[in-house]
Every structure is written in structure tokens, then in C-alpha cells.
Chain A
């Protein structure tokens, strides 16, 4: 289901127009706006990285496993997935892109151990434009503290949703942001990655199709897999790209319950 505001329905120039309509967030991308300082412009040159900010493309990539170990991670709760991911788990901050052509194949189940842990921390969870209504009792049953979770519903306009994602990622009050967008361009992903680095927040973006050359910390593709012989639900996970690592791979993970 693609909303009318989705950039998926628009060509690139339409996307630029959409970005320009959102002055708070996207003014840096507006070609006519030169008066305001903006983060996006800092990416134009690899040398123009401001101190204290991490520019993924400004730093020369060192393709070694040692670099990946410098990224702080936490276990996913699934040993097979921990082995697949560089650093042995989810990054504690940054942007994780999860690509799946279909919904309801177990994408949230994959994040349940992480959500369970993060929701019991003082920082809140922000769910931005989930495709359907979140079911509080089921989340609570899974051990997620729903009192600490806030939702921006699906009918929010695309540019407002993007603005909210950025503000939430920049904020230290938000421990984790889960956002659903059909597709986002590389520049937007880079901007959100920057915001996550600034706020030291973890953002999870759910997409339907992958962004080529995504600057996100982690990019995973999920696919449905047939149930195991004993009837357990399984999910296929392919590591498309990870920051600072050449590692790629694919596993089939057995989900609990």
C-alpha cells in the first residue's frame, strides 16, 4: 500500500519539490536557500566535516573487521543473527534499514528483544507512521513497556513524518525510533543517519525496496521463509551492507513463538 504522498509515486524532481516544501528540515537541500547553515551541505565536500560530527563518506573507509568492532553494539537476542552482523549485534546508535517486500513476515519479531530492553529505559520509543495500528495488549504481552511508547499515525504527511524522524533521532529523549517509509533516497537516509549520530539514537527504517548505496549503519533485507519442520516460524535475513565492513551473508532465523 503506497500513500499518495509517498516519494515512491514521484520522480526525483518531484521529490526535490517535496523536500523544499518542508522548510525546517529540508531547507539545506533547497537550491535557493543559501542563508541558513545546514547539515546537508557539509556532505558536499568530504573535507568539510565539522568537528564532533561523523561524516560517513568524509572518512576514508577502512575495510577491516577491526573498525566494525569499534561500533558499539548490543546482542540481537538471536545467536545466528549476532554472528551475521558485524560487531556481534545491533548498533546502539545509527540507522538500521530493514527492507522487506511484504509486511507481516516477522520483521517486528526480529526486533522484539531489542524493543523489550529499550522500552524499559528512561528514553521513550517513537513509532512513526506504522502501516497499521499498534496493538497495545500484544506489545505489552511481548514485554514492551507501552507507557513509554508514542505513535505518530500513518495518515501523517510524508514530509512531516520525515521531519519527525529527524527531530526524534536528534533528541536525547528518544531511545529508539521505528519508522515506516516505502522508499527514501540516499540523501535523505544520509541526513537521518547524521541525525542519529548527533543524538546517539538508534533508528530503524522499514522499507519495501532497498536504497542503493545506502549510507545507513546497517542494511538488511528480510524475506519470508517456510516454517521449520517442527512448525516454527522462520525468516530469511540477508546482510546487504554494513558500515565499515565488507561482510555479507544470508541466514535463515527461527523466530520464537
Chain B
């Protein structure tokens, strides 16, 4: 195989076989990416899923665009990294010690096959067929790939069998045939794959992202018997979390604190913040309030912190659209008031007031957990009503469910007989649900001076004309 002097001159690895002719074009690569594939023969057996991810995590030091097509091979887009690492040789040297150490640690053979080309599919195929080769130009792909047997292709078995049945055993056999005819006879899958191998067709490869998890535990020499002791131990772990977040440019909005007591019973405490934070002081203050309402019966022997949900760190001023309060959230030293309250009262103990335009008051004014409101605070402007409620006709306080009123001489009574002041105002809705509402609403007043919002249930009064009262108390004009 002829050596590619251009690739050597630009820093390609000598242990790879350069093959293509030197190009007159400036620059090393054709296209937008250059893929460096690594095949680990020791991982070909079934059951090795995690090791390839561990190895991929090491490769993040050279590029963040990693594609993992299988459990034994990964491909890295290194186009943007070549200059920084001094070409393929430097990049390969950078990765080698870390990969070898990891393979030793995993008790796997310290062996892997490298291949690099402008095509991800070609690099993967070359490394899987154990060809340590560097192809710097797309034009050289066809000749190098030609010697690879069809059985090595990442294709469906049926297609491979049909190709073999037609006497096509190597890729060079396919190169001789017209692409349109191949597509017509063997389907689009084959023709697309061949195009990808030659770098003629770009495919969107799923980018592998490392799943960050922070999990640390601490086992003190002396057991933690008081909340203060637990806080001291938690502070150590939270400082580690802070360092972890800074290292990965992340922030966290929730974490799980685990406590194990002398009887090996585990207690989990979840902590949440409205806006993701880094500072351990925020978590500590929330934890202090959580511990105040947590019953801890036995001494604690171990404390652990687990955090698996992260968000990218946005420094203050990076997003002018965000409110000042939210920006300060990433660098704050104390939790928000609502975070503090929810730490003690519980996550579902604080609500925001819902406003839905509906004629049924029970639907229109429900509460919803305060966390459901938008992360970015809306402008401080009251929502506009579209005329669903006439001004002054509905009360500020509503009963969760309407309360049936007693009657005296057909007149409703609440503490004392009621005098109807305004009404009726008819509400008929929800007929499409089968649980329709037919009510006549009145504003009434009793002898104590209370002003009430009551209704007469028309549907009920028709069904049971004389048995029970059809008057209900819906709300109070406070």
C-alpha cells in the first residue's frame, strides 16, 4: 500500500498505514468531520455494556463528539482536535495511557485497533476488520475498503446472504456495479450504507453523552447521634459535590441524601431548589430544616449524597432575558423563601393560585403546586380576564366543595336566615361531560352581616323536588 506523504507531513501516526495519494488541496481533511475509530476485541463478548462507556468517557478529553455503534467499538470526531494535539500521532499518544490503564483495570486484554478516515462508517468497519489504517482523503476509501469481505458489513443478514448468492463477496465487487442498480435490487439500506462508507452521504450519528452521577458516602469513626453531627458529615459531602459541579460546569436542582443507622436501616431525604445551585450552604440550610422535622431514632453510621440531575451552569449576565432573581440563583448563598418553606412543610404544601377561564368556579380557581409555575418569572402583570366573571359578582374565598344549606320555609339558612341581595345569575356548563351544572347563583346576607355566594341547584331541584334542600353555599365575600 502506498504511503501518503501528505498525511505523514501533517502529523499522522506512523503506526497507521497511510494510503492515499497526496492531495493538492490545502488542509488535511475533506468534509466536516474526521473519524477516529477504536475497536476493543476484548469487549466483543456479550454482557460488556458499561466498559465501552467508561472508555468513551476517557475519550472526552480529546473530543466531545463520540458515537458508540456497539459494545466493542467507538468512533470519535477528531477534526477539531487535530491541531491542538499535534495530529493523529499526538492524539493517539494522548489517549493511549488512559485507555491502557482502564483496560487493565477492567481486567481486559490491553489491545485495541485504531482506524481513522473522513467517514465514520468506514473507520468503524476498518477498525473492526483489524486494519490499522489512516485514510486522510475520501478518494482513498474505495481502494482500501475494497478488500473487506461482505460478511463484515453492518448490514442485515438477509442482505448479506442475497449478496453472497449473487457471487458478491467483497466490497470491490460492489464498487464495480452501478449504485442505482444495487439500490433497485438490494434495497435502499445497502446503497445508503455504501454511500456512507465512501463518505458520499452524511448521516446524523447520535452523539454519546456521559451520564453524570455524583455519588459519595462517608462513614465516620464515631456515629452521628444528633442532627448537628449529620450536618457536619453532610457538609463534607456537599463540598465535594460543589467541586464536582464546578469541574463539570454544572448546577444541580435536586439531590438525595441517604442516612444509614446502626440497624442498617436506610432513610432518604430529598432536597430541592427552585433554581439549580452549586453552593453547599443552600443545601445545608435546607437539610437543617428537613432534619428538624425528621425523626431519627438510631445513631447514623453512614451518610451518602447522590445527585444525578444536572443543568448547565449559566453565569450571571449570560442570559439577559432572565430575571435578576433567577440570575442570582446560581451564585446565591441562601435558599429562596419558598425553598425554605417547602423544605420544612413538604414539597406539596405550597401552592400558587391557578386562573383558568371556566364558568365552573371549582375548575376556574384551583391551586397548583408552586413549582409548576414557569421557571422564568412572568412579568409582574395581572392576567387579563376575557369577561368570564362579571366584576364584583364572585367571592375571593371559595369552599372546596359546595356545602348544602338547610332551609326554613323554603329559604336558605346559614347561621341565620339568608336575605337574597342579588341574583339570580345562571351558570350552565359542562353539558358535554355528562356531569352538567345548572345553577342559579345569588349573593345573600345573613343576620351576622356575612355576605355569601350561594346557588340553587336546578338539576337537583328537578330530580328531588321536595326531599332535600337544593341550596348550596359556594363562597364568601370576605
Q: B143 contacts the other chain (Cβ, under 8 Å)? A: no
Q: Please indicate which of the listed interface residues A24, A107, A140 has the most CB atoms of chain B within 10 Å of its own CB.
A: A140
Known: A104-B451, A156-B349. A136 touches B354 (CB 8 A): yes
Known: A23-B292, A146-B355. A140 touches B396 (CB 8 A): no
Task: Report the interface size class on chain A.
Answer: 35 or more
Distance in angstroms between the alpha carbons of A192 and B352 in the assembled complex: 24
Distance in angstroms between the alpha carbons of A139 and B336 in the assembled complex: 25
| Interface of chain A residues 152 through 172 with chain B (CB within 8 A) | 152-153, 156, 160, 163-164, 167-168, 171
Q: A57 contacts the other chain (Cβ, under 8 Å)? A: no
Measured between C-beta atoms, what is the minimum distance from B418 to chain A in Å?
Answer: 12
A223 contact set on B, CB distance < 8 A: 449
Measured between C-beta atoms, what is the minimum distance from A205 to chain B in Å?
Answer: 15
Q: B338 contacts the other chain (Cβ, under 8 Å)? A: yes
B354 contact set on A, CB distance < 8 A: 136
Binds B, one of A83-91, A118-126, A209-217, A240-248: A118-126
Measured between C-beta atoms, what is the minimum distance from B188 to chain A in Å?
Answer: 53
A167 contact set on B, CB distance < 8 A: 337, 340-341
Q: Chain B 297-338, CB within 8 Å of chain A: the 1/0 string?
A: 000000000000000000000000000010000000000111
Task: Report the interface size class on chain B.
Answer: 35 or more
A257 contact set on B, CB distance < 8 A: 391-392
Measured between C-beta atoms, what is the minimum distance from A121 to chain B in Å?
Answer: 7
Q: A141 contacts the other chain (Cβ, under 8 Å)? A: yes
**Is A133 a contact partner of B399 (Cβ separation < 8 A)?**
yes
B340, closest chain A residue (CB): A167
Q: Chain B 52-94, CB within 8 Å of chain A: the 1/0 string?
A: 0000000000000000000000000000000000000000000
Among A106, A141, A171, contact of B451 (Cβ-Cβ < 8 Å): A106
A152 contact set on B, CB distance < 8 A: 341, 345, 349-351
Q: Chain A 9-21, CB within 8 Å of chain B: the 1/0 string?
A: 0000000000000
Distance in angstroms between the alpha carbons of A150 and B370 in the assembled complex: 7
Known: A133-B367, A153-B367. A146 touches B337 (CB 8 A): no
Q: A134 contacts the other chain (Cβ, under 8 Å)? A: yes
Q: Chain B 378-404, CB within 8 Å of chain A: the 1/0 string?
A: 101111010011011011111110000
B400 contact set on A, CB distance < 8 A: 132-133
Q: B98 contacts the other chain (Cβ, under 8 Å)? A: no
Among B353, B399, B478, contact of A109 (Cβ-Cβ < 8 Å): B478
**Is B385 a contact partner of A140 (Cβ separation < 8 A)?**
yes
B355 contact set on A, CB distance < 8 A: 136-137, 140, 146
**Is B391 a contact partner of A136 (Cβ separation < 8 A)?**
no
Distance in angstroms between the alpha carbons of A225 and B450 in the assembled complex: 10
Known: A167-B337, A168-B337. A135 touches B398 (CB 8 A): yes
Distance in angstroms between the alpha carbons of A135 and B395 in the assembled complex: 7
A134 contact set on B, CB distance < 8 A: 353, 365, 367, 396-398
Distance in angstroms between the alpha carbons of A171 and B340 in the assembled complex: 10
A189 contact set on B, CB distance < 8 A: none
**Is B389 a contact partner of A132 (Cβ separation < 8 A)?**
no
Known: A137-B389, A160-B344. A105 touches B449 (CB 8 A): yes
Q: Which residues of A contact B (CB under 8 A)?
A: 23-24, 102-109, 119-122, 124, 126, 130-153, 156, 160, 163-164, 167-168, 171, 173-174, 223-227, 231, 233, 257
Q: Can you name 11 A-B pairs with beta carbons within 8 Å?
A: A24-B292, A106-B478, A135-B394, A136-B354, A138-B395, A140-B382, A140-B383, A147-B352, A164-B341, A227-B445, A233-B451
Q: A108-B396, A132-B399, A142-B396 are in contact. List 6 more A-B contacts (CB 8 A).
A: A104-B452, A106-B451, A135-B394, A135-B398, A138-B365, A151-B367
